[in-house]
Amino acid sequence: MVSNLFVKDRVAIVGAGITTFMRRALETPRELAWEAARQALDQAGLTLRDIDCVVIGSAPDTFDGVHMKGEYLADGSGALNKPMTRVYVGGGTGVFVPVSAWWHAASGLCRTVLAVAEEKMSPAHPHPQYVFRYIWDPIIHRPLEPNLIWIFAMEMRRYMAKCGAKKEDIALVSVKNKRNALDNPAAQVAANITVDDVLKSELLVWPVNELDISPVTDGAAALVITNENTARQVTDSPVWIDGIGFTLDNQHWENRELAFPRYLNYAARMAYRMAGIERPWKEIDVAEPYDPFDYKELHHIEGLMLARPCEAWKLLKEGYFERDGELPTSPSGGLLGVGNPIAAAGLMKVAELFWQLRYEAGKRQVKKPVHKAVANAWGDLMQAGTVIVLSN
Amino acid sequence: MGNGRVAVIGVGFYGFRPSTPEVSFQGMMFESSHRAYAEADVDPRKDIDVFVDCQEDMWEGIAITDEFAPEPIGGALRPTFTVSGDGLLGVAHAYMLIRSGLANVVAVESHGKPSEIKTLQDIYYFAMDPLHIRPLSTGNPFFIAGLDAQAYMSRTGARREHLAMVAVKNRNNGLRNDRAPYSSRISLDEVLSSPYAVYPMTRYEMAGFSDASVTVVLASEDVAKKFTDKVVWLDGVGYSTEVGSGSIEWHQWGRMPSMRNAALMAYKLAGLSDPQKDVSFAEVEDRFSFMELLSAEELMLSPEGEAHKMLEAGEFDFDGRLPLNPSGGSLAMGVSLEATGLARFLEAVLQLRGEAGAHQLKEARRAVVASWRGVPTYTSAVAVLSSDVEG
Amino acid sequence: MSAKEGARLPGTKLSAKEMYSLLGLVESSPQAKYEFSAGPTISRFLQGLKEGKILGRRCPRCGRIYVPPRDYCEYCHVALTDWVEVPDTGTVQTAVVSYISVRRERLEKPEVVGVIKLDVPGYKEGSYEFAGLFHRLCIDPEEAKKDSTIGMKVKARWKPAEQRTGSILDIECFEPVR
């Protein structure tokens, strides 16, 4: 990988938009994509005429029930008669969309890029769980009839065993994020709950209870990303993309130590190096670690080097990651509180950091002054790490 | 911009056969990437900065097929990602990655194993809009191509004989190409006298399917020279989407604006001002016979609406003034799903290096490569390649 | 949204009842059928299971032994050549208790599954990668939740030879070594 020294053109985010996150949306996937894209354009004060290229992100095709989903979403995403591609790294896709938009702009091929992520999980009948039957190795795993939650439960258990964390320590993430989500107008499952509520919710795959998991969601999110010149013309407060990183580990999760997310750590190091960040635990002011499961936020805080391995759960207990804490994480409410329309959820996290860095997050604005922020998403069979570092 | 020109320093493939039961799709990916890396003399674990894989869930039968991307191509625990699209779109990403200065060496792999899809027709249907089109139950999903063929013919005055001539030319061209299982010494009469598959086309005018994996290695100019002298330049790329698969009613029937837009973008980057004069040959979209003629027109390799006249005059023949698909195209090599664009790309690179064997052209200095993702999409991609070697 | 107070975001929520009573709700089930080629490596692995053996493959360059076996070494990107039979014993790396089925229905009898790190030489203690299998564990569900389960010694319980078909299911489960 070439060092950032040679990358001369800075790239900025100048607008963001999201739809309501909800269990069942009346709107079609194309309409959801359009609603998010329109808002992002409105915030940037631009129209589709100003957009040179479009990057679309969406996770498995089977959720929306359409093969070649990027093509299907093209019109809703404002891509007509424009260069459009759909990038795909499973659950990591949401953050990967702006990562990929970065090189669209930095290469000089596109001045202004619309980055759109959409997911509509409700068409899968009777339950989106069915779709996850098809993510496994077809020959040596599918015969065991695995449920999606199995692998995450296995990873959570390994983290607990290695790090000495208890279920109640981990449940605090769910409590924090659902509470943070109370201030988010997009939120699907915001609530004031207790650790006890999590522990008493339906036991699915021990150690995972229902409230440890983010819900099934429909929704979309979008960003407008431009080169430096254009950014300075359209706004006084661009948010810079200082670093990007991505890594994909092998598919054989049963051959790996699951307690520490190396896939993310490598991606984070790439992004920090590009951003010139040497001590992320000191330099990052606010973070949106990917939290489809509560333990995953802790896991990712450690992978992002915002805490030492096995120490995130201890810091969490001390209030370190609260909105008024030392290093607020998931001030948006995260996937656990706002909802999890897979790719759109990852992009929502980047949108939240955009608003935080512009001091536009209203009640969700973190207490401390913010300069640098990091978000990540994760996907596949504990494989994909995607990271973006932003600054104002 | 970080880096200067972009070079192709290695290509590798496996397959181009109607079925490949002897390997898993991962085995196929490993074989093609291994060959490309050997040819480029790169160690994928050290020298390649980014790996791009082009595939689509329902073609693979795996819901998050991206999971299986990194390992076979040497990209495990490295920057690897998937593009849900044709391999040429992956090449476009590689081009941008190199031009942005982020990467010096990028590998792009794409594969298709249609022989393992037992319900291919239904999978095509699953790409259609669930509300507007699927309920119509129209039988063969390629009816959309039939609509375009009809509109194309009525606009340009091309007759069905012209469409059949494309099939005759390409299936015969393929006879000189080892990678062309559907080549055949077929005559115009045989094509015209066989029954329609999708009006106005017979089965000879619709490409079959073949299993294949293709890997290409791209590098920035400075770095390319460290690895190899056998450089082919990627002078420009372009891609575009006209309408969504949910809004094909808006498509300009009988035209392919996505290919025109992609060509304009690629030509601009390549500084190619007079494609009819400056291109020595082209490997273009021909999964349906009329598409080759329509592509020639949208790529500005023929005057508006006159591709069929150039075909009739023999200009697109193997020994013509501007050979189209000297490899035999998809009509002879088969459609390898998302690897189809890279198959065209592979053939062009071999020609430009003078390594195309029995189907080597005499004059091969600058090539245009074009692909379309097939029904029901309206996305196309174009690449312009050139060689410094005197052809 | 710029997250202004009281911002109303686009999108219309439906209840399940509302959704199913929508005019024009279209049902569509993909007829998606595939036949996957296992390839030479997994085919031989399955053949080994039929014979009651767990087979791994060694990388000629770095010496790693892969279980499940691969066609190639993902760390060296070279083709793998040698086959080795590995022990059918190992330790539990992680274990969970599933109360729901693959279709998210409640299971009458919970199921224990986990990752077994096999006793394959060549991997350092505590190394990031190891040879191992994902499989069922024949452990009492309550027992499985105890801390002592992680690191427990286990051994494959094979189906009787005549019932084996060349499938991962030829191993019924991994059970504690008593």
* pLDDT at residue B1, rounded to an integer: 43
| Cα gap B108→B106, rounded to integer Å | 7
Taking the Cβ of residue C104 and every Cβ of chain A, the question of whether any pair is shorter than 8 Å is answered with yes
Taking the Cβ of residue A18 and every Cβ of chain C, the question of whether any pair is shorter than 8 Å is answered with yes
- Determine, for residues B26 and C36 on separate chains, whether the beta-carbon distance falls below 8 Å: no
Q: Which C residues 31-70 touch A at CB under 8 Å? A: 34, 36, 38, 42, 45-46, 66-68
Q: In 3-state terms, chain B is what percent helix, strand and coil (to 5)?
A: 40, 20, 40
Does B59 reside within a domain? yes
Structure tokens that stand for B333 in this block? 């090599």
CB distance A86 to A70 below 8 Å: yes
CB distance A323 to A69 below 8 Å: no
Structure tokens that stand for B255 in this block? 């035209």
**pLDDT band, residue B221 (cuts 50/70/90):** very high
Q: Which B residues 86-125 touch A at CB under 8 Å? A: 89, 92-93, 95-104, 123-124
* pLDDT at residue C81, rounded to an integer: 86
Range of the domain at B27: 6-118+209-225
Q: What is the pLDDT of residues A288-316, one digit of tens each?
A: 999 999 999 999 999 999 999 999 999 99
The CA distance from A286 to the nearest CA of chain C, in Å, is 17
Mean pLDDT of C111-132: 92
| Probe site for chain A from B26, B59, B64, B269 (most A CB atoms < 10 A) | B64
Q: Which A residues 184-213 touch C at CB under 8 Å? A: 184-186, 203-208
The CA distance from B75 to the nearest CA of chain C, in Å, is 8
The CA distance from B18 to the nearest CA of chain C, in Å, is 14
Chain A residues within 8 A of C28 when measuring between CB atoms? 65
Chain A residues within 8 A of C104 when measuring between CB atoms? 127, 129, 147
Asked whether the predicted pLDDT for residue C1 surpasses 90, the reply is no
Whose tokens are 């021909």? That residue is B286
Taking the Cβ of residue C77 and every Cβ of chain A, the question of whether any pair is shorter than 8 Å is answered with no
Q: What is the pLDDT of residues C90-107, one digit of tens each?
A: 999 999 999 998 878 899
- Determine, for residues C30 and B30 on separate chains, whether the beta-carbon distance falls below 8 Å: no
Structure tokens that stand for A168 in this block? 């109640």
- Those chains having 3 or more beta-carbon pairs within 8 angstroms of chain B are A, C
- Determine, for residues C127 and A219 on separate chains, whether the beta-carbon distance falls below 8 Å: no
Asked whether the predicted pLDDT for residue A74 surpasses 80, the reply is yes
The full 3-state SS of chain C, as one line of letters, equals: CCCCCCCCCCCCECCHHHHHCCCCCCCCCCCCCECCCCHHHHHHHHHHHHCCCEEEEECCCCCCEECCCCCECCCCCCECCEEEEECCEEEEEEEEEEEECCCCCEEEEEEEEEEEEECCCCCCCCCCECCEEEEEECCCHHHHCCHHHCCCEEEEEECCHHHCCCCHHHEEEEEECC
Chain C residues within 8 A of A143 when measuring between CB atoms? 167-169
Asked whether the predicted pLDDT for residue A7 surpasses 70, the reply is no
Q: Going by C-beta distance under 8 Å and a sequence separation of 6 or more, which residues neighbour residue C34?
A: A138, B61, B116, B117, B118
Q: Going by C-beta distance under 8 Å and a sequence separation of 6 or more, which residues neighbour residue B265?
A: A83, B236, B237, B238, B239, B240, B382
Structure tokens that stand for C112 in this block? 């224990």
Residue C62's identity, in one-letter code, is C
Does B89 reside within a domain? yes
Q: Going by C-beta distance under 8 Å and a sequence separation of 6 or more, which residues neighbour residue B5?
A: B220, B221, B233, B234, B235
Taking the Cβ of residue B126 and every Cβ of chain C, the question of whether any pair is shorter than 8 Å is answered with yes
**pLDDT band, residue B390 (cuts 50/70/90):** low
Does B213 reside within a domain? yes
Mean pLDDT of chain A: 94
Q: Going by C-beta distance under 8 Å and a sequence separation of 6 or more, which residues neighbour residue C145?
A: A206, A207, C97
Chain A residues within 8 A of B76 when measuring between CB atoms? 248-250
Q: What is the pLDDT of residues B352-362, one digit of tens each?
A: 999 999 999 99
Q: What is the pLDDT of residues B99-137, one digit of tens each?
A: 999 999 999 999 999 999 999 999 999 999 888 888 887
Taking the Cβ of residue A252 and every Cβ of chain B, the question of whether any pair is shorter than 8 Å is answered with yes
Domain boundaries along the sequence of chain C: 38-176
Structure tokens that stand for B104 in this block? 């010096």
Q: What is the pLDDT of residues A115-155, one digit of tens each?
A: 999 999 988 877 776 667 777 888 889 899 888 899 999 99
Does B371 reside within a domain? no
* pLDDT at residue A127, rounded to an integer: 72
Asked whether the predicted pLDDT for residue B391 surpasses 50, the reply is no
Does B298 reside within a domain? no
Mean pLDDT of C170-177: 97
In 3D space, the residue among B59, B51, B16, B14 whose CA is nearest the CA of residue B34 turns out to be: B14
Taking the Cβ of residue A57 and every Cβ of chain B, the question of whether any pair is shorter than 8 Å is answered with no
The CA distance from A53 to the nearest CA of chain B, in Å, is 9
* pLDDT at residue A8, rounded to an integer: 60
The CA distance from C89 to the nearest CA of chain B, in Å, is 27
* pLDDT at residue A3, rounded to an integer: 44
Taking the Cβ of residue C136 and every Cβ of chain B, the question of whether any pair is shorter than 8 Å is answered with no
C156 backbone φψ class: left, alpha, beta (φ>0; ψ -120 to 50): beta
The CATH code of the domain that includes B72 is 3.40.47.10
Residue A317: how many CB atoms within 10 A of its CB?
13
Strand B366-372 to B281-283 pairing = parallel
Q: What is the pLDDT of residues B57-89, one digit of tens each?
A: 999 988 888 899 999 999 999 999 999 999 999
Which residues, in sequence order, are bridge partners of residue A377? A386
Instruction: Report CA-CA distances (Å) from A325 to A307, B69, B273.
Output: 14, 40, 60
| Cα gap A188→A180, rounded to integer Å | 12
Largest CA distance in chain C: 70
Q: What percent of chain A has pLDDT over 90?
A: 87
Mean pLDDT of A193-199: 98
**pLDDT band, residue C38 (cuts 50/70/90):** confident
Q: Which A residues 130-149 touch C at CB under 8 Å? A: 130, 133, 138-141, 143-147, 149
Does B48 reside within a domain? yes
Taking the Cβ of residue C23 and every Cβ of chain A, the question of whether any pair is shorter than 8 Å is answered with no
Model pTM score? 0.96
CB distance B69 to B60 below 8 Å: no
Q: Which A residues 264-303 touch B at CB under 8 Å? A: 266-267, 270
Taking the Cβ of residue C38 and every Cβ of chain B, the question of whether any pair is shorter than 8 Å is answered with yes
Q: Which B residues 124-183 touch A at CB under 8 Å? A: 124, 126-127, 129-131
Q: What is the pLDDT of residues A213-246, one digit of tens each?
A: 999 999 999 999 999 999 999 999 999 999 999 9
Taking the Cβ of residue C168 and every Cβ of chain A, the question of whether any pair is shorter than 8 Å is answered with yes
* pLDDT at residue C27, rounded to an integer: 80
Taking the Cβ of residue A281 and every Cβ of chain C, the question of whether any pair is shorter than 8 Å is answered with no
Q: What is the pLDDT of residues B238-290, one digit of tens each?
A: 999 999 998 888 999 999 999 999 999 999 999 999 999 999 999 999 999 99
| Cα gap B186→B225, rounded to integer Å | 44
Structure tokens that stand for B31 in this block? 């074989």
- Determine, for residues A154 and C30 on separate chains, whether the beta-carbon distance falls below 8 Å: no
In 3D space, the residue among A99, A67, A95, A100 whose CA is nearest the CA of residue A84 turns out to be: A100
CB distance B90 to B84 below 8 Å: no
Nearest 10 degrees: Cα torsion A220, A221, A227, A231: 130
Q: What is the pLDDT of residues B22-64, one digit of tens each?
A: 999 999 999 999 999 999 999 999 999 999 999 999 999 888 8
* pLDDT at residue B137, rounded to an integer: 74
Q: What is the pLDDT of residues A150-187, one digit of tens each?
A: 999 999 999 999 999 999 999 999 999 999 999 999 99
In 3D space, the residue among C129, C143, C136 whose CA is nearest the CA of residue C63 turns out to be: C129
**pLDDT band, residue B229 (cuts 50/70/90):** confident
CB distance B349 to B11 below 8 Å: yes
- The DSSP call for residue A19 is P
User: Per this entry, what is the length of chain B?
Assistant: 391
End-to-end CA separation in angstroms for chain B = 31
**pLDDT band, residue A255 (cuts 50/70/90):** very high
**CB-nearest partner of A132 from B63, B89, B131:** B63
* pLDDT at residue C103, rounded to an integer: 79
The CA distance from C151 to the nearest CA of chain A, in Å, is 10
The CA distance from B307 to the nearest CA of chain A, in Å, is 23
**C30 to chain A: nearest residue by CA?**
A65
Does B164 reside within a domain? no
Which H helix or E strand runs over B232? strand B232-241
Whose tokens are 């509560």? That residue is A294
The CA distance from A183 to the nearest CA of chain B, in Å, is 33
Taking the Cβ of residue B41 and every Cβ of chain C, the question of whether any pair is shorter than 8 Å is answered with no
Q: How many domains does chain B have?
A: 1
**C35 to chain B: nearest residue by CA?**
B116
Does B30 reside within a domain? yes
Structure tokens that stand for A365 in this block? 């604005």
* pLDDT at residue A124, rounded to an integer: 80
CB distance B215 to B35 below 8 Å: yes
Nearest 10 degrees: Cα torsion C98, C99, C104, C108: 130
Instruction: Report CA-CA distances (Å) from B336 to B26, B54, B357.
Output: 15, 12, 22
Taking the Cβ of residue B238 and every Cβ of chain C, the question of whether any pair is shorter than 8 Å is answered with no
* pLDDT at residue B3, rounded to an integer: 65
Structure tokens that stand for A116 in this block? 């759109």
Taking the Cβ of residue A60 and every Cβ of chain B, the question of whether any pair is shorter than 8 Å is answered with yes
**CB-nearest partner of A360 from C3, C28, C135:** C3
